[in-house]
Structure 1
C-alpha cells in the first residue's frame, strides 16, 4: 500500500513540475530531486514490506518513511491549492499570462519562502531515509516482481494446514454472527477482518468458510482474491466463475453486471469472501456493493484486509481486529514445525526455540517460517546461526541464550 501511495505522490509532483509551478515558486529543482528520491525509494518498497515481518529495524525504517510521506503529501496539497489559485488568476487576468504568474505580491513571496523551506527540509529528510535503505540490501521491484508478489498472495478457500492454533474463539464469534445475528437481515452484511500481514486472516477466513454450520446455512459460498488490483470487472468475473463453476468470457463491465444480476434472480443466501483488499477507493466499493445487493435475507460478505480505513469503508458491522497468538499457541505451532521426536528431549534446543518464539510477536507466519527452517537442523550452533541471520535485528544482550 505504501508503494501505491508513493506512486500517487510522484504523479502529483510530476504534474506540478510539468506545469512549471516549481519555476514560479523557485522550487523546481527541489521538486525534481524529491520526485527522484521518491521513485528511488519506491523501487525497493515491495521487498521491504515483505521482509519487515521478521525485521524490526526495517519496520522502523518503513515507519519513518510513512511519517515523511505524509509530510510530503501535506506540502503537495498546499501546492495544489496554490496552483489552482494561480490558474484562476491566469484565466481571469487581462495581462500577459507570464507577467501575471510572476507578480511578486506579498502573498506569493510569503508562499515561495514557506514552501521552499519546507520542501528543502523534507527533501533532506528523505535523503537520509533513502541512504538508510542501503543497509537492508533490498531488491528493486519491477513488473516481473510485482506479478510474482501478486501471484504469491493468491489463496484458495481450502485450509492447507493439519492443525490451526489459537483461532477457534475468533472463528466461533464470526460464525455465530453470520449464522444467527444477521441471518434475518434484509441488507447484505459485511464483516471485516483486520490485522497485520502474517497474523492469519486468510486461515481464519478459511476456517469460517469451511465450517459445517456455514456450509449448511448458506446456499452459495464464493471465495475471491482481490489483492491490490480492485478491478470491478475482474472481481465480478471471478464471482461469476466461482458461483457457476465454469469459465466466464472476458466481458466488459456492463455485460458482467447483467450476468451477475441474472444469477441473483434465484435469490440465494450467499457468503462471499473478498480476500486481501487493499484499495481504499470508497466509490469503487460502493459500485461493487450495489451490484452485490442481491440474494435472500442473511446474504453476507467477509472482507479481509490489513487496512482499517478499508474495513471502515466496507464494513456494516464492527471490524474484527485479529491479535497475535498467545505464548502457548505460539510454542505449539513452532514445536510442530521445528521439533522432531529426537529433538524434544534436548533442553538446550527447547530453551532456544522458546527464545525464538518470544521474538516473533505472535505472528503465525513468522513462527511457521522459522520453525520450518529449524526442522532439518539438529545442532544448537545451526539454530543459533539461523537466529542470527533471520533475527539479526535482535540485540544479543536481550537474550541469555544467544552467545556473544
Structure 2
C-alpha cells in the first residue's frame, strides 16, 4: 500500500511551529532558536516534497527516502504536539492560579531541567531530519513554490487607533492613570524619550486601553504629533521607520535604505513633543529596539512611547517607566459587556432567567474582555433557556474557546 502524501503533514507541523502559541512559549522558555531551526529544516525538505512525491514510483531509492521521511515527519508531529500541549497547559494553569508561587530555586531548577530535556529532543529530531534532507540532492529534486501561509504561519491582524468608547467597560481608572502620567512626564534631557509598557495576556484589552488614551482630547492637545504603528512579530526597524514616517506625512515613503530613513525620521520629530504607540510588540532583541529608540531621541521634553506586549521580557527590555500590568474586568463590568453583546438594546428585565444563566457563563470568562465579547456575540442568536443552559454546561467548549482567544492572531 503506498504511503500517503507527506506534504500536508509537513505543512501542518510548520503551521504549528509558526503559530503564536509556540512562538510565545519558545521565547518564554529559551527554546526559540531550537524551534526556529527545526522549522528551517522542515522548510528545506518541504521545498522539494512536491517533486519527490510526483516521482515516487520512479525508483526504489526515492521510495525508501520518502518512507524514512514519512516516519520522521510523524515523530516530529508528535514532538511538536507535545510542545503545544505543554504550552497550553502552562498558560491555562497560570490563568487558573495553579501553583502561582514557587521558590526561586525550584522555579529555576525546573525551568533548566525542562529546557534541557526538550532542547535535547529537538536536537535529536533535527539531526535526524538534517540527515534525511542531506540525501535529497541525490535525486535531483526541483524546489517548488510553497504557499506563504504554510511556511510563515499565521499572520497577525493589523490594529489601528480607532475606538468606539461606548463599547468599552472597566478601563476608566487605568485610562486616567496613564493620561496623568503622560501629561506630567518630563524627561531629564530635552532629547530623551520615555517608554511606558502595557503588559498582559492576549485578549485582555491592551490595544483597547492604548486606543482610549491615544484618542483622549487632553492627549491630542498635549502632543504635537501622535503616531500609531502595529508592530506584531516582525520587529523590522526599516519597516517600522517607514510606517512612522507614513503616519506623520500622510503618504507613502519611497526611501529604500535605512540610514536616510532614520535621518528623515529625526528631521520630522526634531523639537516636537510626540506620542508613539507601538502596538503588539514581540521583539526580544535589545539591539533592534536600541537602533529605533536612538532615532527617537530628538523631540521636545515629554515625548513618550507606549508599548503593548504579551511578553514580560519585552516590557522589561523596552520600558523606562514602571510597567502597567493589565487588570481583568470586574464581575460587574464583565456582565455589562456581555449583556450589551448578548441583548443589545433589548430590555433584559423580560429575560431574568437568562440573566442568571448569563452571569454564570460570564464567570467562566475570568474577566477577559475578548472572551466575553465572543460568548456574548454567540448568545445574541440564542433566546431559549435550554440553549443558554447548554452553553453554560459545556465546560469543554468554553475552555477551547478561551484557548483560541488567548492566542488569537
Task: Give the TM-score normalised by structure 1.
Answer: 0.66
What's the offset of the Cα at 1:283?
1.3
**Residue 353 (structure 1) shift:** 0.3
Equivalent residue runs for 1:18-57 within 5 Å: 42=80, 56=92
The structure 2 residue matched to 1:315, chosen from 319, 323, 330, is 319
Q: CA separation of 1:46/1:144 partners in 2, compared to 1, >3 Å: closer, same or farther? A: farther
Preserved contact between residue 10 and residue 35 of structure 1 (Cα < 8 Å): no
Inter-CA distance 327–59: structure 2 relative to 1 (3 Å threshold): closer
Aligned counterpart, 2:266: 261
Corresponding residue for 1:277?
A: 281
Q: What is the CA–CA distance in structure 1 between the aligned matches of 2:113 and 2:39, rounded to whole Å? A: 17
Tell me, yes or no, if the aligned pair for 1:218 and 1:269 is still in contact at 8 Å.
yes
- Which residue among 252, 256, 266 is the counterpart of 2:257? 252
Are the aligned partners of 1:10 and 1:39 in contact in 2 as well (CA < 8 Å)?
no
Whether 1:287 and 2:306 are equivalent positions in the alignment is no
1:238-387 superposed matches below 5 A: 238-249=243-254, 251-265=256-270, 267-340=271-344, 341=346, 343-387=348-392
Rate the CA distance shift 1:212–1:347 in 2: closer, same or farther, 3 A.
Answer: same
The structure whose Rg is larger is 1
RMSD: 3.9
Q: Distance in 1 between matches of 2:150 and 2:111?
A: 23
Match of 1:3 among 13, 22, 25: 22
Q: How do residues 3-152 of structure 1 correspond to structure 2 at under 5 angstroms?
A: 3-4=22-23, 5=26, 8-10=33-35, 42=80, 56=92, 71=113, 73-74=115-116, 143-144=148-149, 149-152=154-157
Q: Distance in 2 between matches of 1:182 and 1:41?
A: 51
Post-superposition Cα deviations, 1:244-294, rounded to whole Å, max 9, x if no partner, equal 1111126121221122122233x1100000000011111111111111111
1:316 Cα deviation after fit: 0.4
Distance 1:168 1:350 in 2: 25
Counterparts of 1:34 and 1:318 in 2: how far apart (Å)? 47
Q: CA deviation at 1:319?
A: 0.1
Runs (4+) of structure 1 moved beyond 6 Å?
Answer: 13-16, 33-36, 43-49, 57-60, 145-148
Does the 8 Å contact 1:13/1:76 carry over to 2? no
Q: Do the aligned partners of 1:190 and 1:316 also contact (CA within 8 Å) in 2? A: yes
Query: CA offsets per residue over residues 16-36 of structure 1, 9 Å max, x none?
Result: 9xxxxxxxxxxxxxxxx9998
* Residue matched to 1:92: none
2:242–2:253 CA contact under 8 A, matched in 1: yes
Query: Unpaired segments of 5 or more residues in structure 2?
Result: 1-19, 42-70, 100-108, 126-146, 400-409
Q: CA deviation at 1:75?
A: 5.6
Partner Cα separation in structure 1 for residue 211 and residue 363 of structure 2? 27
Q: Is the 8 A contact 1:48 1:58 kept in 2?
A: no
TM-aligned CA deviation for residue 147 of structure 1: 6.9
How many residues get paired? Answer: 310
Q: Deviations over 1:336-389 (max 9, x none)?
A: 111252544222211110001111110011001100110121111222333455
For the 8 Å contact 2:338–2:372, the answer to whether it is kept is yes
1:390: Cα distance to partner? 7.1
Q: Does the 8 Å contact 2:277/2:305 carry over to 1? A: yes
Match of 1:172 among 163, 173, 176: 176
Structure 1 window deviating more from structure 2 (246-255 vs 215-224): it is 246-255
